[in-house]
Each structure stands twice: as C-alpha cells, then as structure tokens.
Amino acid sequence: MEAISGSLALIGYGLAAIGPGVGIGIIAGNAVQAMARQPEAAGMVRTTMFLGIAFTEALALIGFVLFFLA
C-alpha cells in the first residue's frame, strides 16, 4: 500500500470547519424563515443573523490559524 502523504493540519482544519458550517447553515435558514414570516422585521433579523454567523465562525477561524501554525 502506498503511503499517504500530506499535511495532517489540513485534515484538522477540515474537521474544524464542519461544526461552524452546519451552524451557519442553521442560522441562515432560520433567518430566511423569520424574514419570510415577518418581512417588516427583515432589517433586524439580518443584523442578528450576521452577528450569529460571526460568533459561530470563530471556531472555524481558530482552526484556520492553527492550520498555519501547525
């Protein structure tokens, strides 16, 4: 069997991106639902959505940095 080569850090980054990916999907999906149900609250929902995405994204960003450091 041929040896698999490459950087383990890359796999680590891929793993770190799973959770935030799912989380951002949930946030955006629920935001779309909220906007469809109450279009007049769209502005507030959008701001809150960006905030939620930003906080969720932090984990993927930490993975991104560790990928460079490793």
Partner 1 sequence: MDQLILASGECDLSTSSVCAPEDVRELFEFRQIIFEIGGFPITRTVVLIFLVALLAMALMFFGLRKRSVLPGRFQAAIEGLMGFVRDEVAVGIIGPEGIRFFPYLMALFIFIFIGNIFEVTPFINFPITSRMAIPLFLALLTWVIFITVGFKRNGFSYLTGIIWPPGVPTFLKPLVGIIEFFSIFFVRPFSLAVRLFANLVAGHVMLSLLLLTGYVSLVTIFDIGVVKGLFGFAWWALALAIYMFELIVILLQAYIFTLLSAVYIETSMHVEH
Q: Which residue ranges make up the site for partner 1 (CB under 8 A)?
A: 43, 47, 50-51, 54, 57-58, 61-62, 64-65, 68
Please state the closest distance from residue 59 (CB atom) to partner 1, in A: 9
44 close to 70: Cβ distance less than 8 angstroms: no
CA separation for the pair 34, 49 (Å, rounded): 10
Nearer to partner 1, 22 or 58 (CB): 58
**CB of 22 vs partner 1, minimal distance in Å:** 18
